[in-house]
Each structure stands twice: as C-alpha cells, then as structure tokens.
Amino acid sequence: MKTLTLVALLAIAAGASAAVRLQDQARQDGKPKRFTHPVSKDADGGMARWMATMQPGPAHERLSEMLGSYEVTMRMSMGPGMPAMEEKGTAEITWFTEGKWLQETRSLPMMGMPTKGLTILGYDNFKERYVCTKLDSLQTCINDFCGHFDASGDDLILWGTIDEPMTPEQDKQV
C-alpha cells in the first residue's frame, strides 16, 4: 500500500514538474506565448469565403413570400390503405432574423392531442440549399430537412429523415 502511494506521489510530482516546464517554455518576456494555427493566417482566402456566406442574397429574398398567418390542414395516414386523418390548425410565419431566417409557430391537434410546433427555415449559402429544422411538443426528436425550389420556381421541395417509432424505422427518408 505504501509503495502504491509513493508511486502515485512521484507520478503527480513528475506531472506537475512537466507542466511548469511547459509553462516556462510558452512564455516570452514574462508574457504568455501566442500559438497560432497556420490556417488562421487566411492564406487561402478562407475568411473572405466565410464572410461571403454570411450575406443574404436572392434565395433569402424568396423567404419573404412565405411571411403571414395561415390556416393549415394536416393530412396523415398510418399506412397504405388506411384512411387519412385530417386536422386543422393555425400557423404564423415571421422573421427570426430579418432577411435570413424564418420561424413558423404552429398550433394544431395531432391524433386528437393539442400540439405546438416550431420550424426554422433559411437558405445556407455555403451548402447552396434551403435548410429547415422542425420540432413539436409531442415528440422528443428534431427533424432536419433541406432542398430547393422545383423547376417551376413555385414549390419549395424539402427532403430529410424522420423516425417512425411504430414501425420502428429510424432515419426514414421523406
């Protein structure tokens, strides 16, 4: 037992000594030495590319077409050949960050239970596609989608994955 304690104390002392030596090596003129990553010098224009992705553009302007208050109808079927259930509710689409991100808040029953939902929708300049995250008060998951307007330019088509606990499929393409 005493040998184990002595070994542990020696290991702690060696570690502390090494930390002090490393601290001393990292100081110049009593000031902390600044370590820089080679990419931080922006030799390849990375910062300029990043800044360009922050600027709203024409794809963001399309988002304003969706602003407003809506009466919504949700239709859902529990499987092939089963009748579709229909629920009616409301949705409000406002700017989350003006010119960049929309937020939709919705309220509608689902299978007879009242629910609230939140959607964030915007355009990702870097990925060059619309991106969307949805959640609601019934589930414990967040669903992510992405997409583009169709060839007509009228319909925003999003795709992603959902979980189907009844089946029990995970990451089902939708």
Whole-number pLDDT of residue 46: 80
Whole-number pLDDT of residue 39: 52
95 and 22 in a single domain? The answer is no
119 and 77 in a single domain? The answer is yes
81 and 100 in a single domain? The answer is yes
Tens-binned pLDDT, residue by residue, of the chain (174 aa): 444 333 343 344 444 444 444 444 444 555 555 545 555 566 677 888 888 888 888 999 999 999 999 998 888 777 788 888 888 999 999 999 889 999 999 998 887 889 999 999 999 998 999 999 999 998 888 899 999 999 998 999 999 988 888 888 888 888
Domain with 142 in it: 58-173
CA dist., res. 64 & res. 154, Å (int): 14
14 and 31 in a single domain? The answer is yes
Query: Across the strands, what pairs with 114?
Result: 109
91 and 40 in a single domain? The answer is no
129 and 104 in a single domain? The answer is yes
CA dist., res. 149 & res. 136, Å (int): 25
71 and 157 in a single domain? The answer is yes
